[in-house]
Structure 1
Amino acid sequence: MSASADPPASPARKRSVVRSLLRLWPYVRPVRARVFSAAGVAVVAASMGLLMPLVLKWIVDGPVADGDTSGVWLGGAVLLGVGLAEALLFGLRRWLVARPLAGVEASMRAALYRHVQRLPVSFHDRWATGQLLSRGTGDLQLLRMFLAFGLTFLIVNSATILIGLGILMSQGWQLGLVLAAPVVPLIWLCALFENRFSLVARRAQDQMGDLTTVIEESILGIRIIKGFGRHRSQARAFHALSGRLMGTELHKARLLAGIWLVILALPEIFLGAALVLGAVQVADGDLTAGTLVAFMTTAMALRWPIESIGFLLALCNESATATDRFFDVMDTEVPPESAREGTALVPGAPDGLRFDNVVFRFPDSPPGSPPVLDGIDLHIRPGETLALVGGTGSGKTTLIGLVPRLHEATSGRITLDGEDIAALPRAEVRRRVAVAFEEPTLFSATVRENVLMGADGVGHEEMERALRVGQAADFVHALPQGPETEVGEQGLSLSGGQRQRLALARAVVGRPPFLVLDDPLSALDVHTEARVEAALREVLADTTALVVAHRPSTVQLADRVALLSHGRIAAVGTHAELLHSNAEYRHLMTGEHPEVSLP
């Protein structure tokens, strides 16, 4: 239970922070009016703060110099009014962006969820669950913080610095030039910081995805961990990944501390120089005391906008990385609903399920590697049940996964009643084909919701019928709330046989015309298996079915049997015929050595 160090889509390329963040625009566009209004309000609020030094200048050079007490009180009242206006405007900014940007986060999360649901099974085979979870939770929360705080204050602080520098220059151009001197080295240092920090930020977020995967697997596999006493080894794996993440976060902290040191130190040095120069000018009579007070107060008001540059740069980089990680998934192409133009033989004609020279190899398999399935030709006639038998690794599960288009055939054609499934929308294929897998997956929902997931618009009577077919009615109605009982995550509050019976009920609830079952009775005891088989015979009489079988009892549900060997159909016939004529089949069904032949 371990995660790969990097997700499959981790880009090892240099990217523009601005270009990455601009990709968020389609999600921000619906609320752009409130976002830009909030930024405008924040700029006005910050500008109000820059009015205070000018009011102080007036107070010092006017009422204080003239000994006008009433003027001092008036100036104090003006300062209080400016401060209150600034606070109210910042409150208005927060109100403007809070709800819209929460909506942006929700819409991005919904878009990610929809996209992941539409991506093929091969995508989920490659991606660790924790990587997807971290993109849908932590990364999107970081983007909301950037849009609500980072983006606004990047605009506000940039505007404040420009306005403040203009005010400083108007107060005394020589002092203004002294304070503007560190701008060029600061820009160069920030660019250097951005290049280094972006790589570390991406590494940290990918490592968080790996850690999330380990935690998720450890929770889901807790029975295995406890059963084999592997809690110490899992703890070591967790601490190793956690230690790597901590090291990366400390590296981030060191980079951030370095840029903060420079951003804080350089302006302070030049601020001290400006103060000395200004005091000399006041002593020489070239500058009024009020002007120096206003100049220094304005410079102090610019400390936060300048000091925040390091934090905002780090937030921009982390947000750009989160954006890249989000679009790593969103940019993954969803296969078209129809893989090719329709080539139906006789649309809708009763022809059953047909495989015509089907070849399949996994999309990420090495070039030149042999296909998993090679030239499959098979015809399951309408209303017929065909058992698919083969050794481990022969391709049985892959073959049945092609029917509901969990995978797309590399070449060849699969038809349902003469219609090429590649020319049909996936939703239509899956409406006609119901599936039950060997490993039954249930969801954190009620029994009723889990069973009715197999079909739309069916009622209580159909659900009860499906439960009876799966021999699940007795134990379901014995549950505390009957069919309304929550089965818990992955249905682990139920036994393996109970989960398998519910999965079978889910497959048959919609009376599908085509049924694909992957060893559906493997977890049942012999008595329950016999009852399920008896009920299944009635269902199979009205449907066209392909059933993966490993035991003679399951094979005997079928009209015919196909033997799959090394990705090819090696033989087709009845159970009795293959027992007598095919040594490999006889070995699979009886354990008899292939070289032994029946008389």
Structure 2
Amino acid sequence: MSSDTSGAPARLPLHRALARLLPFARRDLPRIGLGGLSALAASIVALAIPTVLEWVVGGPIASGTTPAVVWGAVAVLGLGLLEALMVYLRRWFVLAPATAIEFNVRSAFYNRLQKLPIEFHDRWQGGQLLSRMMQDIGLIRRWMAFGLIMLVVNVLTVVIGSVLLFQWHWLLGTIFVVSGIPLWIQGFRFEKVYGVLTRRSQDQQGDLATSVEESVHGIRVLKAFGRGPHALTRFTRQAEGLRGTEMRKARAIAGVDFVLVLMPELAFAVSLAAGIWLTANGQMEVSQLFAFFAMATILRWPIESIGFLFSFMLDARTATDRVFEVFDAVETITDPAEPRSIADPRGALAFRGVHFRYQDARPHERDLLDGIDLELVPGETLALVGLTGSGKTTLTTLPTRLYDVTGGSVTLDGVDVRDLALVDLRTQIATAFEDATLFSASVRENVLLGRDDLDAFSDEAERVMREALDVAQAEFVAGLPDGAETMIGEEGMSLSGGQRQRLALARAVAARPRVLVMDDPLSALDVDTEERVQTELRRVLAGTTALVVAHRPSTVALADRVALLEDGRIADVGTHSALMARSASYRSVISSLERDEREESAQRTDPTSEIDIITEREGA
């Protein structure tokens, strides 16, 4: 889904929006200020050059005194070198603090993404978050290192230079100042138009990044179904929309640049005519007229750059707004003010009157989980079965507070999980998901992800990793090019589905939790491998409470008890044999699971099955 900006607060004024960066920049402001002072000093040195030229033209050149002309040239050269030194100092002062600010914002942004609840990530596109993390924060850094300083310095340079123009003649100074009025009018119009366009452009870039991300992650599906041209058409349509927005931005910038270039040119022409008239009438010296135009020439770049720098500031403002949309998102799942602790963890897990509904559920819809009462005693393995859509997967997200219940409570050893610190809770309860997500890291790092208490290369870590791999029947690791040090590609796509699931299960086992929640983590394994894994799990995790979402009769049969979930409620609980004897609904669900298992087995052996057809098409 796209980013959710509905109900967003009114847009802050420009200065208040950019002021939100101050907490990240406060420590580095002194050096940025010194960079600004260096840039201002460079501009003031440049503005001093026309005064020297006035003296050279009016004195040594008019009188033909060669030594004085040489000294005048030396003075101008010295001022030029001093200006270059100030420019160098500006860059030296701002480089480190600007990158430090970028680092601070980016680190805080990533930390924020880690803390925000799953429901936030359900609503936001990955590409939108990625574009904010990389592009927008990078733009903020460039603006603070260059745009902010140069905009302030160039505006001050224009103001100071305009005042200095009056020293030669009030009429010429007035002409130059009056010519700037249309620039301010055009600037106000430009802000309104460009502000909307730059926001649209940056949002469209985020959508485009999402399309690329989805296409890369889903490349196998696109190839398998021959939908590459369709994806390209969709991408081209989005790219064309972005191109159109960028063209409108360019036209808006061209409009303001036209005025910024035209008005100084007109001022030059009118000032030249007036200056010649004043000189002819003896009201002005030639040297003064020369110095006036030298000063006006120096002011041309600061004036013409204001349009670019102003658009840069609006881009930075939009980038700041987009970044702070994430910072402002509500962090609904947090540590309690006074966390409780469990003195003697046993692994008793209980659902008491649990209700849950997703945030986007309609008011008239009933709760997805509608009053769940279920208890798991320490060391028990309980299988959860039900038809598709009954709420099994949702139930498994509640113990670790990936989502919070909307009614009732989930308790661990009698303590509401909302009263425990998140790090403690997630140390006690581990989850193995059906969709086995691995990271671009080594096998060792993936398996030991949940063991911050171990040095990854210690003897104890090696023992824990090997044991976890054995339990998960992940003997294939020994055959990888570098064994446990083999780097896994993005999301583990360099491995088969079964291999990914076994590493994900090994990761959960290595965490050594008191409660293990498994959402059908062995769906990609054959029945024999699954049985061996289950046997090893019982041996190694003896005393560990397990809640298993089961999609196979074989998994159900290995559980101590089974809970039947129907329409968000626990319809019955008992042993597999007892439920088969007394519950027609349970028998129907088991029959459905058996049918699905037979179809899955047929797909594995039938050379014309859908999986093989897709594989052959992808290879072609």
Alignment partner of 2:244 out of 242, 247, 255: 247
1:130–1:212 contact (8 Å) kept in structure 2? yes
Specify the SS of the correspondent of 1:517: strand
| Deviation digits for residues 81-135 of structure 1 (CA, Å, limit 9, x no counterpart) | 1111101110111011112111111111111000101111111100000000000
The residue number in structure 2 matching 1:507 is: 508
Give the whole-Å Cα distance in 1 for the aligned partners of 2:116 and 2:430: 19
Deviation at 1:158, TM superposition (A): 1.1
Deviation at 1:335, TM superposition (A): 2.7
Deviation at 1:348, TM superposition (A): 4.4
Aligned ranges 1:401-420 → 2 under 5 Å: 401-420=397-416
Alignment partner of 1:329 out of 322, 326, 330: 326
Cα distance change, pair 13–197 in 1 and its aligned pair in 2 (3 A): farther
- Matched residue type, 1:406: L
Deviation at 1:366, TM superposition (A): 2.8
Q: Percent identity?
A: 48
1:340–1:422 contact (8 Å) kept in structure 2? no
Cα distance change, pair 340–277 in 1 and its aligned pair in 2 (3 A): closer
- Matched residue type, 1:401: T
- Matched residue type, 2:470: R
Deviation at 1:368, TM superposition (A): 3.8
The residue number in structure 2 matching 1:162 is: 159
The residue number in structure 2 matching 1:428 is: 424
Give the whole-Å Cα distance in 1 for the aligned partners of 2:107 and 2:553: 46
- Matched residue type, 2:184: I
The residue number in structure 1 matching 2:443 is: 447
Cα distance change, pair 341–96 in 1 and its aligned pair in 2 (3 A): closer
Give the whole-Å Cα distance in 2 for the aligned partners of 1:342 and 1:290: 80
Give the whole-Å Cα distance in 1 for the aligned partners of 2:137 and 2:592: 55
The residue number in structure 1 matching 2:550 is: 549
Give the whole-Å Cα distance in 2 for the aligned partners of 1:340 and 1:42: 49
Matching of residue 186 in structure 1 with residue 187 in structure 2: no
Runs of 4+ off more than 3 Å: 6-15, 338-344, 346-351
The residue number in structure 1 matching 2:518 is: 517
Cα distance change, pair 438–530 in 1 and its aligned pair in 2 (3 A): same
Alignment partner of 1:77 out of 74, 88, 99: 74
1:469–1:505 contact (8 Å) kept in structure 2? yes
The residue number in structure 2 matching 1:568 is: 569
Give the whole-Å Cα distance in 1 for the aligned partners of 2:7 and 2:417: 34
Matching of residue 299 in structure 1 with residue 296 in structure 2: yes
1:27–1:104 contact (8 Å) kept in structure 2? yes
Matching of residue 586 in structure 1 with residue 582 in structure 2: no
**Bigger mean CA deviation after superposition, 185-194 or 309-318:** 185-194
The residue number in structure 1 matching 2:367 is: 371
Specify the SS of the correspondent of 2:91: helix
Matching of residue 35 in structure 1 with residue 35 in structure 2: no
| Deviation digits for residues 42-90 of structure 1 (CA, Å, limit 9, x no counterpart) | 0010111111111111011111111111111111111111111101110
Structure 2: gaps of 5 or more residues: 455-460, 595-620
The residue number in structure 2 matching 1:392 is: 388
The residue number in structure 1 matching 2:533 is: 532
1:135–1:325 contact (8 Å) kept in structure 2? yes
The residue number in structure 2 matching 1:464 is: 466
Aligned ranges 1:76-115 → 2 under 5 Å: 76-115=73-112
The residue number in structure 2 matching 1:596 is: none
The residue number in structure 2 matching 1:488 is: 489
Alignment partner of 2:48 out of 51, 75, 99: 51
1:385–1:547 contact (8 Å) kept in structure 2? yes
2:43–2:157 contact (8 Å) kept in structure 1? yes
The residue number in structure 2 matching 1:357 is: 353
**Bigger mean CA deviation after superposition, 212-221 or 453-462:** 453-462
Aligned ranges 1:18-29 → 2 under 5 Å: 18-29=15-26
1:347–1:417 contact (8 Å) kept in structure 2? no
Cα distance change, pair 349–41 in 1 and its aligned pair in 2 (3 A): closer
Give the whole-Å Cα distance in 2 for the aligned partners of 1:279 and 1:90: 35
| Deviation digits for residues 390-426 of structure 1 (CA, Å, limit 9, x no counterpart) | 1111111110100111000111111111111011111
Deviation at 1:339, TM superposition (A): 5.4
| Deviation digits for residues 512-558 of structure 1 (CA, Å, limit 9, x no counterpart) | 11110011211001221221122122245321111000111111221
Give the whole-Å Cα distance in 2 for the aligned partners of 1:157 and 1:31: 22
The residue number in structure 1 matching 2:601 is: none
Deviation at 1:351, TM superposition (A): 6.9
Specify the SS of the correspondent of 1:299: helix
Structural RMSD (CA):
1.9
Specify the SS of the correspondent of 2:397: helix
Cα distance change, pair 347–366 in 1 and its aligned pair in 2 (3 A): farther
